[in-house]
Structure 1
Amino acid sequence: MMSNSPQEPIFTPEKIEALYFDTARQGETELLAEFIRAGMDINHQNHEGHTALILACYHNQLEAVKLLLEKGADPNIVDNKGATALTGVAFKGYIPIAQLLIKAGANVDAENNLKRTALMFAILFGRNDMAKFLIESGANPHHTDGEGVTPIQLAERQGDEELVTLLKAKNII
């Protein structure tokens, strides 16, 4: 005997959102493009404040990042911790994605909730090539975080003389 009660929808808004973010995380560009064509808000944020762009960047999905930026994803949206897509990329060391983000207008000196920048994360996690790229892209080596520490001081603490010299050479005070 069939029930007259309405069935629960197969794709609830929550399930659609989860699928959308999984698609970005896994770099499934064809399906991601379908979500966008179907009207999914490209800058929609999940409960952690992540966008599809932030997730694609963090998981090194270069083609998905290209697609999202081409379709108008905002590279300066911050998550619940105040981090942008560039912050995660700096931490991971994904220079090709950082190049795309900066070309698309990402703020190279955006601060997270602790006032740390992408350059600071690159230095903290030993991503020297990323740090050098960010410096060349105009990152401020004199920025002070919430604890009063600058990128130069972080590099000094890491004992990286080459990076310290490079940072000090960018005298933009």
Structure 2
Amino acid sequence: MSEHKPGQPHQPENQLDEDAIAFAQGIFELARNGGTKMLNPLLEAGVPVDIRTSNGDSLLMLATYNGHVDAARLLLEKGADPDLANDRLQTPLAGVVYKGDMDCVNLLLEKGAGVDCRPDGAKTPLMYAAMFNRTNMIERLLEAGADPQLQDAEGNTALSLARAMDAQDAIKHLDR
């Protein structure tokens, strides 16, 4: 229990915890909604750039997943880890491929995201592109050096996942 100091308003500890949680949730909402102008001073003041939600989503994951390129650029310039995976074993690059956002794919690759980076056994960004028949992303990821032979925990490759999803265009791109 914290000690109450004279001259300071007394707040119960659970109120302080609730205030901290509300503050963090506000920061997550800024990233989710592209609040670049409001995020910048908070990061400058010391808010950790890789702070994460209870689901493990980083500010960068929230910004990119919701298509906010300017907020994502700010976070990357402030040192956000472009390969920090969430609790669903998705990196920001895998998340934006899943969402189909080419602008965020390009930004992440330009700013150093690992094209094949993923937690052990997870799907690569190329696997998500193949599953959802996103041929423009398949081409971009292959151009960036993606390895089409990598396997997930079940032994699937990008090509086998494209076949399982009957993603005909992706199959043509990968079956060369």
- Assess same fold via TM > 0.5: yes
TM-score (normalizing by structure 2): 0.84
Percentage of pairs with the same residue:
33
Match of 2:129 among 97, 105, 122: 122
Name the residue aligned to 1:39.
46
1:158 Cα offset (Å): 4.1
- Stretches of 4+ moved more than 6 A in 1? none
Q: Establish whether residue 76 from structure 1 lines up as the match of residue 80 from structure 2.
A: no
Residues in 1 aligned to 2:67 and 2:133: alpha-carbon distance in whole angstroms: 18
- How far apart are residue 152 of structure 1 and its match? 1.5
Q: Distance in 2 between matches of 1:126 and 1:9?
A: 48
Aligned-residue CA RMSD (Å): 2.2
Q: Distance in 1 between matches of 2:175 and 2:155?
A: 17
Distance 1:79 1:157 in 2: 25
Q: TM-score, normalised to structure 1's length?
A: 0.86
1:23 aligns with 2:30: yes
Mapping of residues 147-166 of structure 1, within 5 Å: 147-166=154-173
Residues 133, 170 of structure 2: 8 Å contact kept: no
Contact 1:124 1:154 in 2 (8 A): yes
Q: Are the counterparts in 1 of residues 49 and 79 from structure 2 also a CA contact under 8 Å?
A: yes
Give yes or no for contact 1:81–1:112 (8 Å, CA) kept in 2: no
The one-letter amino acid paired with 2:43 is I
How far apart in 1 are the matches of 2:32 and 2:24? 12
Aligned length: 166
Flag structure 2 segments of 5+ consecutive residues without an equivalent: 1-7
CA apart distance, 1:80: 1.1
DSSP 3-state at the match of 2:71: helix
**1:144: Cα distance to partner?**
1.2
1:36-115 map, 5 Å: 36-112=43-119, 114-115=121-122
Instruction: State the match for 2:10 in structure 1.
Output: 6
Supply the AA of the counterpart residue of 1:21.
F
Residue 76 of structure 1 contacts residue 84 of structure 1 at CA under 8 Å; is this kept in 2? yes
Letter in 1 for 2:50: N
Which consecutive unaligned segments of at least 5 residues does structure 1 have? none
The separation in 2 between residues aligned to 1:47 and 1:162, in whole angstroms, is 37
**Residue 146 of structure 1 aligns with which residue?**
153
- Deviation, structure 1 residue 166: 2.9
Shift of 1:61: 0.5
Matched letter for residue 18 of structure 1: Q
Task: Provide the rounded CA distance (Å) in 2 between the counterparts of 1:67 and 1:5.
Answer: 36
Write the distance in 1 (CA, Å) between the matches of 2:33 and 2:122. Answer: 30
How far apart, CA to CA, are the structure 2 residues paired with 1:135 and 1:154? 16
